[in-house]
Amino acid sequence: MKHNVNCVIDANNLIKIYQNGSEELKVLDDVSIQVYRGDFMVILGPSGSGKSTLMNILGCLDLPTSGQYTLDGLNVLEASDNELAEIRNKKIGFIFQKFNLLPRLTALQNVMLPLLYRGVKEEEALEAAKEKLTILGLGARLFHRPNELSGGQQQRVAIARAIVGNPQLLLADEPTGNLDSKSSEDAIRIFKELNQQGNTIVIITHDVEVAQQVKKIVYIRDGKLYENH
């Protein structure tokens, strides 16, 4: 099948089975999903429905038991571990519920890290990180460590870290799950602005209020995707 260049995520018939001893748990049951450049999609579903499993597969952190997955034209299931690491580093920005910031590093150092991993020069990484943090309203918090920042500020650092390398795709797993409603609204506003600037964004959430703020919602229930409720 010919690849559509505007299709960032092209996943078809994904099945994921976890093996616990002799027990098999089918967590994704024939999931197909397409995400196009510039999309802002929310995948909404209750706890245990398979959201994080799907996110991990779409983010090349895990592989499906079977199915096909093409990310930005690359066949993920045939990629080597090195190629997968490169895809993760260059094409995807991740945002997690628990922020996953390194506690001993400052905000600035946390945001510089993905660039340093890629071999970007320190000065260049510093400038880029400073710029992103400033855009996100943290210009006065560059040298604070995560525990010196509020939850909303920590999540903004995590967003800055996710976007600092200009990835093709932003994947966020319950990005508002640890935020109060004001910070949650701020985070969604930031995602909307990033989307208006051309970022492709997929948010996975159980929060109906988050989902209500975007046009494209798909629903996940017991490992199956639905276009409608």
H or E stretch covering 81 = helix 81-91
* Token pair 């397409």 in the structure block, residue: 34
How many Cβ atoms from other residues are within 10 Å of residue 126's Cβ?
A: 18
* Smaller CB separation from ligand ADP, 18 or 143: 18
* Smaller CB separation from ligand ADP, 27 or 128: 27
Shortest spacing between CB 108 and Mg ion, in angstroms? 29
Binding at 25: pick from Mg ion, ligand ADP, none (beta carbon under 5-8 Å per type): ligand ADP
**Nearest by Cα to 170 from 68, 100, 96:** 96
* Smaller CB separation from Mg ion, 50 or 67: 50
* Smaller CB separation from Mg ion, 55 or 188: 55
Give the contacts of 215 (CB within 8 A, at least 6 positions apart): 40
Binding at 228: pick from ligand ADP, Mg ion, none (beta carbon under 5-8 Å per type): none
Residue 95: strand pairing partners: 172
Residue 227 sits at the vertex; the CA angle it makes with 222 and 229, to the nearest 5 degrees, is 65
Tokens for 2, please give them.
């010919």
Using alpha carbons, list the distances in angstroms from residue 32 to 68, 105, 119, 207, 223: 9, 39, 35, 22, 11
Binding at 154: pick from Mg ion, ligand ADP, none (beta carbon under 5-8 Å per type): none
Under the criterion CB under 5 A, does residue 49 sit at the interface with Mg ion? no
Is 96 in a helix, a strand, or coil?
Answer: strand
Region near Mg ion per CB under 5 A, out of 12-20, 49-57, 80-88, 103-111: 49-57
Under the criterion CB under 5 A, does residue 52 sit at the interface with Mg ion? yes
Asked whether the CA dihedral 73, 124, 130, 113 is positive or negative, the reply is: positive
* Smaller CB separation from ligand ADP, 164 or 203: 203
Rg (alpha carbons) of the chain, rounded to whole number: 18
Binding at 20: pick from Mg ion, ligand ADP, none (beta carbon under 5-8 Å per type): ligand ADP
Shortest spacing between CB 52 and Mg ion, in angstroms? 3
The site that binds Mg ion (CB under 5 A) totals a number of residues, namely: 2
Under the criterion CB under 5 A, does residue 53 sit at the interface with Mg ion? no
Contacts to ligand ADP by CB under 6 A: 18, 20, 25, 27, 45, 47-53
Shortest spacing between CB 96 and ligand ADP, in angstroms? 11
Q: Which residues bind Mg ion (CB under 5 A)?
A: 51-52
